[in-house]
A and B are shown apart, each in its own frame.
Chain A
Amino acid sequence: MRLTITRFAVSFTVIIWRHVLKKFIHNLYVEFLIMEKQHSYSQVKGVSTGTTILAVKFNGGVIIGSDSRASMGESYVSSKTINKLIQVHDRIFCCIAGSLADAQAVTKMAKFQLSFHSIQMESPPLVKAAASIMRELCYSNKEELQAGFITAGWDRKKGPQIYVVSLGGMLLSQPFTIGGSGSTYIYGYVDAKFKPDMSLEEAKQFSINALALAMGRDNVSGGVVHLVVITEPGVKHIVVPGDKLPKFHDE
């Protein structure tokens, strides 16, 4: 009789304890994100990526690209050559627009969860899984976070894909997408020039042109152009320095 009560007491305690521990860890994690965000308030405006990012699907893969400027406030360039293309898995990349601190915290979390997920599933993760993880994080922390993401990659199930997770946590799949402060200037250009099923060369030229045009008009985008080409065989990182960018009529 006493044994049963003891056993019952022990298992009861264990259940309560696990529940408390889960809550505790969850709170720690949320605090981790809030801490990152508050830390960025303590400076003038935090490091933000006034940015231009884009992703384009072509015949056989995706290209994801960005500029390389990080600014603090609107007038100080804190880095001329930052790489905003983060690899979250072998064939899945993310690019970030908005507060750099938020973006790094979220992508770190997503990278961890994605690798755990791919171990559990015993196969490379789907691009949609990566995008869903970002969406979960963005949506549940929408009050504190200020970052939007483009997730692009290749998986065996659906081939090349691009997902965009916007500021509030909406998830959308598109054949091409642009983001960041510099993207407003190239909406007209990409609307006019995008064709579905481009070749690799055409898609590369399209991305470089679009980024160069945006960098030419947006004062918080600039530096070099980073491109990552993701296809089934692998991943290639291309950097186009400022002097090799295409010039347009007034330059």
Chain B
Amino acid sequence: MQDGIEHGSPSGLKMGTTIIAVEFDGGVVVGSDSRVSAGASVVNRVMNKLSPLHDKIYCALSGSAADAQTIAEIVNYQLDVHSIEVDEDPLVCSAATLVKNISYKYKEELSAHLIVAGWDRRAGGQVYATLNGLLTRQPFAVGGSGSFYIYGFVDAEYRSDMTRQECQEFVVNSLSLAMSRDGSSGGVAYVVTIDSEGVEEKCILGNQLPTFYDPDI
């Protein structure tokens, strides 16, 4: 600890992260940063943490990179099987339940938090948080180490009647604020918008992110 390097068990890849998902009337917007760190070094600065579970269902990964990716792959497979069995597109609630089942059953071994968000025909846009094995539907959800710094901001700025455009701005602003304060979040911002028409993926480069007042400049 003295020389700034962490000794002891080798630190796995951690996605100290900021992830956020917001529901609007007709769809959802999901966003994440792109930094993967191992101890003090950044091993991937452009990782896309928004992973598709199905055509219109995405999940945002945070926590241990290995655990989160594995959960996403397993659920992707299970969801494919399920959608063949019922012969239609799966519900977001089903995807979230599958994620929750794995998170809960292996809660001692795993340390990953996935936010599941998507659009389905029955209930429109939905966001589910699955922290530690709980399943809850929320109008918006934030997660990852960077989320602590923006709790105040999202509490103050979220409104339930935002349009698609306003939601995207809200997500990008929140990610930018978190990335500027959290050492484990950074890089570019990935934003995915899902609605009845389809899926729109956007990548916002570091120098195009919104900036805020900085007293030292």
Contacts and interface: CB of A to CB of B under 8 A. Distances in A.
Nearest to A190: B152
Contacts, number: 68
Contacts of A194: 213
Contacts of B149: 184-185, 187-188
A249 to B, nearest CB: 5
A241 interface: no
Given A216-B155, A250-B155, A188 B150 contact: yes
A191 B210 CA distance: 12
B152 A214 contact: yes
A213 B152 contact: yes
Interface in A91-109: none
B153 A188 contact: yes
B106 interface: no
A194 B148 CA distance: 19
Contact of A185 (B151, B159, B215): B151
A112 interface: no
A175 B213 CA distance: 11
Contacts of A189: 150, 152-153, 155-156
Q: Interface size for chain B: under 10, 10 to 19, 20 to 34, or 35 or more residues?
A: 20 to 34
B160 A187 contact: no
Contact of A217 (B152, B157, B174): B152
Nearest to A189: B152
Interface in A15-68: none
A209 to B, nearest CB: 6
B215 A174 contact: yes
Q: How large is the interface on A (under 10, 10 to 19, 20 to 34, 35 or more residues)?
A: 20 to 34
Contacts of A186: 151-153
Contact of A196 (B154, B177, B213): B213
A12 interface: no
A191 B157 CA distance: 13
Contacts of A250: 155
A76 interface: no
B148 A192 contact: no
Interface in A104-125: none
A227 B138 CA distance: 34
A202 to B, nearest CB: 14
Contacts of B152: 185-190, 210, 213-214, 217
13 contacts: A175-B215, A185-B148, A186-B153, A187-B177, A188-B151, A188-B153, A188-B154, A188-B174, A191-B181, A194-B213, A195-B213, A216-B155, A217-B151
Given A192-B212, A217-B151, 9 more contacts: A175-B215, A188-B153, A189-B156, A191-B177, A191-B213, A213-B151, A216-B155, A248-B155, A248-B158
